[in-house]
């Protein structure tokens, strides 16, 4: 690239960065002035309960701690009357926020998300094979920040940047035992990432599987040590998901296969009916089986296809996948672009990526399911056409086993 082109490119990037950062700063300042309920106030309330050593799955405890907070009836219905939405070890992530005042915790959480964005950019830079330069890392950070799902993530103060960093790190260290640590971190934040354990199994990274299980066991013991066995027992015997209002499973922001089928079949009020959800169960089994078979087929010739197929299947099958979870599609799209880079299909990949990002952002993410489904179908097709693993051939006349 000529010097004049680099200057023009850098100038355009600086203008984009300024525009994006300005918009997010305005949203952050408004949030400090009047803290939004969704989702930071949820995190802080749960954290306050955990930091005080109380049972964060008990609605009565939540109602007591929430006294004095000016919240809507919807917040009370979905948060106070339900309890902590996540498995017990996830409280280890949120509990430190409960030691701080609300606005101080908000500032700390912004810092955590900002750091996670920078780490994600560094890892994505490695993922696409670029040299570790400040300029390219900054450009990738701006690329991620420009996505509609990133804006939703920052508006809701959600954890997607942390998850993005864990997923990128898992891919980069897929051959090392440390991949199990990144898997455990991902599951700690978002349980659906447990499906990536299938990738490590197909990849035969047994040390990573063992280290991941050991790390998760340590997190469970740390949870018991920090908060006692009471919350763990409550989660197992009186799960908060059973208290969720039934309409949560089909609200527009829910872009899972389950929620999409509920809306398409007008079965929103029958979300807990086995008979009404036979279609979902049948499709879920078909997707899981075909994903595993195709991931196994492509695990050697094209591990990018195997990894991306399993990741997108997890997004589709997890019943609580929200629109902004589509941020994770950055990883499979970058892996696809890297594989097709400098090839005849590169421009098709870029056009496809643009369409996917458009779908995740249009109408506040109401079509994100179709973006996830499209990415899964593309990788399923690519995996089906990838060369099958070579079988061991035995030369004629050679007898195995020494007999």
257 and 347 Cβ atoms separated by less than 8 Å: no
Q: Residue 393: which pLDDT band, with cuts at 50, 70 and 90?
A: very low
Long-range contacts formed by 238-243: CB under 8 A, 24+ apart: 238/57, 240/57, 240/82, 240/83, 240/84, 240/85, 241/85, 243/59, 243/81, 243/82, 243/83
Residues near 207 by beta carbon (within 8 Å), at least 6 away in sequence: 177, 180
> Looking at residue 288, what is its pLDDT?
97
> Looking at residue 10, what is its pLDDT?
62
> Over 70: is that where the pLDDT of 193 sits?
yes
> Over 90: is that where the pLDDT of 23 sits?
no
The mean pLDDT value for 376-398 works out to: 71
Is the C-alpha dihedral spanning 343, 347, 349, 353 positive or negative? positive
Q: Residue 344: which pLDDT band, with cuts at 50, 70 and 90?
A: confident
Residues near 143 by beta carbon (within 8 Å), at least 6 away in sequence: none
45 and 99 Cβ atoms separated by less than 8 Å: no
Q: Considering the chain, what percentage of its residues have pLDDT values greater than 70?
A: 91
153 and 324 Cβ atoms separated by less than 8 Å: yes
> Over 70: is that where the pLDDT of 6 sits?
no
> Looking at residue 401, what is its pLDDT?
41
pTM: predicted TM-score of the whole model, two decimal places: 0.91
> Over 50: is that where the pLDDT of 392 sits?
no
Q: Considering the chain, what percentage of its residues have pLDDT values greater than 90?
A: 74
User: Residue 254 in 3-state DSSP?
Assistant: strand
Per the prediction, the chain carries an average pLDDT of: 90
Residue of higher predicted confidence among 68 and 205: 205
Candidate from 108-117, 266-275, 316-325, 349-358 with smallest mean pLDDT: 266-275
> Over 90: is that where the pLDDT of 2 sits?
no
Is the C-alpha dihedral spanning 189, 337, 319, 361 positive or negative? positive
318 and 376 Cβ atoms separated by less than 8 Å: no
The mean pLDDT value for 268-289 works out to: 91
The mean pLDDT value for 168-180 works out to: 97
Residues near 272 by beta carbon (within 8 Å), at least 6 away in sequence: 246
SS (H, E, C) 49-100: HHHCCCCCCCHHHHHHHCCCCCCCHHHHHHHHCCCCCCCHHHHHHHHHHHHC
Q: Quickly list DSSP for 262-328.
A: HHHTT-GGGTT-TGGGHHHHHHHHHHHHHHHHHHHHHTTT-HHHHHHHHHHHHHHH-TT-BGGGGGG
Q: Residue 7: which pLDDT band, with cuts at 50, 70 and 90?
A: low
Write down how long the chain is: 403
> Over 90: is that where the pLDDT of 1 sits?
no
> Looking at residue 24, what is its pLDDT?
86
> Looking at residue 395, what is its pLDDT?
46
């Amino acid at each position: 690239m000529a010097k004049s082109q680099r200057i023009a490119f850098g100038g355009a990037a600086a203008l984009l960065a300024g525009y994006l950062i300005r918009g997010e700063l305005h949203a952050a300042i408004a949030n400090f002035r009047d803290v939004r309920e969704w989702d930071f106030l949820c995190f802080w309330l749960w954290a306050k309960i955990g930091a005080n050593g109380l049972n964060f799955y008990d609605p009565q405890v939540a109602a007591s701690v929430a006294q004095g907070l000016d919240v809507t009836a919807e917040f009370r219905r979905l948060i106070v009357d339900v309890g902590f939405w996540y498995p017990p070890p996830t409280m280890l992530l949120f509990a430190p926020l409960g030691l701080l005042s609300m606005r101080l915790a908000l500032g700390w959480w912004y810092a955590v998300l900002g750091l996670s964005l920078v780490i994600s950019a560094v890892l994505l830079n490695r993922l696409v094979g670029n040299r570790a330069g400040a300029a390219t890392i900054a450009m990738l950070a701006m690329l991620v920040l420009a996505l509609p799902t990133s804006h939703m993530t920052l508006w809701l103060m959600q954890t997607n940047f942390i998850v993005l960093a864990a997923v990128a790190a898992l891919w980069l260290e897929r051959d090392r035992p440390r991949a199990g640590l990144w898997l455990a971190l991902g599951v700690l934040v978002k349980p659906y990432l447990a499906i990536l354990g299938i990738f490590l199994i197909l990849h035969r990274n047994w040390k990573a599987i063992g280290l991941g299980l050991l790390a998760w066991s340590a997190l469970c013991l740390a949870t018991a040590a920090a908060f006692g066995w009471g919350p763990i027992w409550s989660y197992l015997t009186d799960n908060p998901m059973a208290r969720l209002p039934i309409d949560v499973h089909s609200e527009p922001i829910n872009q899972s296969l389950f929620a999409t089928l509920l809306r398409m079949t007008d079965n929103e009020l029958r979300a807990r009916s086995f008979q009404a959800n036979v279609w979902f169960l049948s499709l879920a089994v078909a997707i899981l089986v075909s994903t595993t078979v195709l991931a196994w087929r492509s695990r050697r010739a094209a591990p990018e296809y195997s990894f991306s197929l399993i990741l997108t299947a997890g997004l589709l099958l997890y019943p609580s996948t929200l629109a902004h979870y589509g941020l994770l599609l950055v990883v499979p799209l970058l892996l696809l672009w890297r594989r097709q880079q400098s090839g005849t299909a590169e421009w098709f990949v870029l056009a496809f990526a643009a369409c996917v990002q458009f779908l995740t952002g249009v109408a506040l993410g109401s079509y994100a399911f179709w973006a996830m489904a499209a990415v899964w179908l593309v990788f399923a097709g690519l995996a089906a056409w990838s060369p099958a693993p070579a079988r061991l051939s035995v030369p004629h006349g050679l007898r195995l086993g020494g007999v």
